Structure 1
């Protein structure tokens, strides 16, 4: 179960790291740039709505394009959107801040979280699936989600500033994309409903 567990943990890095980067670090970053708290809360809420509405759409797309493709698009999108996200939040424009969260969560995070359960499940044989998915899920959250806002805060105050934050996001996305390619996932066979 070693390689599938490592693969599953790495798959979680981009998805879990990005959502914590936006919702926790993004809020603090907006505060640093004197964006009113009510704008940040509205943007975060609308971003969550966009995320929730987009997930089923990306799940449907995964049926046609494949879960790996959808996840890869989300991870690459998050790495590329980090700079624009920070710029939009720092712009001081209410519409810019809202756009940052809607695009970041609805078009970058949603594709990853929509297909991640299927990707994780396919890594493990039935006898170890529940344990494997649970451990990979939580290990990824521990390594990316829990510490991402702290790491981003340290990086934004470093001499490299926003570039370092975006480099960190790109590294998380790169590790997840590497995990996506590391091992072919088994196809899950779901029982068909009886008519």
Structure 2
């Protein structure tokens, strides 16, 4: 009997005890929450203060655009993080990658909180800000794939969607915490105090979250699928080369699925709505803390719908859940700005909450969906790189594009049409792929996993 069998692992990637499963779910939720809290804190600050503090000489309009561009620049380095994490994750395991990416993200975020402004050190300030944002991008590109595979590969076959939703809900929880911390500091340090020091506190708080996340992730067992691959000595030496040689088209289509969700999601996670609604030179000029509280509240709807989508996908399939989610997201896209533009905080919250439901139903099932697309030996690389490319095509420059569209047209309808187009693109990519809900994930079934899920193709 192999060591894998003695531990209670099965070839399908499940583990024996409910206690172990609960530990995995808890660890992926906490770790992903910490990662995305750090990532979103930056985006929140980019929409609220970075234009004044780091790009002031360029003027209000150009400062905002460049501030949002620093959010997008990090996405260009996500593939680097995905390539590195995929390579080492497929060769040496999922857990070690998760620990390293968590530390990298936390260090970068904390240093942003200590960074001098343009007034203090001149052009070095925005340069250092961009460097730290790039490090966040590298970390984010590597973290997600490891987290979702730890969750899905430990899951019982019929609960992959539910287990896979655990790292997914870390994203809305991270948004909730990030918006909540910014809202709290807006109250504790109003006006000039927020610009002087209040915005720094949420960044510095990251060090506490990193210590908690590190402790929890270190206690989680390695993925059973990877353990089995390692024992059989079937780990691929060049997983990325294998991925693109056999599955390049699948990577691109899978990336488009995520792009459709990510572009729309970055209206809030990328700080666009926060800036649009609070800009004193804009049409609304709403109070900062009220807008941040509305975003925080909408994150609760995103969290709930993400969890429900993962659960439902185990019953009706990932593809069907996605199709329904795209339709809900389209409704959210076309109701968002009419409600936001009323200037009423309650209606702004309503618009964000409706959008959040659609976002959840195009996100909760993604972890299981991606994991079921790729063979075990190159799964980390496939999942991570598809996600990173989708983030570039989707959310990377969505706030910048939205800002430029409004400045060019004078209307938010142009933004709604752009977001609707991205939603339809995600739907089209979903329709191209077969449903693989419940496909075996272990190395015994590599041949079945290698069959292309793309309609009209026998193999990738």
TM-score (norm 1): 0.89
Which residue of structure 2 aligns with residue 53 of structure 1? 304
Residue matched to 1:101: 352
Deviation, 1:190, is 5.9
Q: Which residue of 2 aligns with 1:80?
A: 331
For 1:98 and 1:14, locate their aligned partners in 2 and report how far apart those are by CA, in whole Å. Answer: 22
Higher relative contact order (CA 8 A, sep 6+): 1
Q: Following TM superposition, by how much is the alpha carbon of 1:109 offset from its aligned partner in structure 2, in angstroms?
A: 0.7
What's the CA shift for 1:141? 0.9
**Structure 2, unaligned stretches of length 5 or more?**
1-246, 443-460
Cα RMSD (Å): 1.8
Shift of 1:160: 6.7
Q: Which has the higher helix share?
A: 1
Alpha carbons of structure 1 residues 65 and 186: separation in structure 2 relative to 1, 3 Å:
closer
Aligned equivalents of 2:435 and 2:312: distance in 1?
A: 18
The 2-side partners of 1:161 and 1:10 are apart by 27
Equivalent residue for 2:322, pick from 71, 77, 80: 71
Q: What does 1:30-45 align with in structure 2 at a 5 Å threshold?
A: 30-31=277-278, 32=282, 33-45=284-296
* Selected match of 1:141 from 374, 388, 391: 391
Shift of 1:25: 1.5
1:5 matched to 2:256? The reply is: no
Gaps of 5+ in 1: none
Give the equivalent residue in structure 2 for 1:115. Answer: 365
Q: Which protein has the larger Cα radius of gyration, Structure 1 or Structure 2?
A: 2
> 1:72 deviation in Å?
2.0
User: Does structure 1 residue 180 correspond to structure 2 residue 427?
Assistant: no
User: Which consecutive aligned stretches of 4+ in structure 1 deviate over 3 angstroms post-superposition?
Assistant: none
Counterparts in 2 of 1:108 and 1:98: CA distance versus 1, 3 Å? same
Partner residue of 1:25? Answer: 272
SS of 1:158's partner is helix
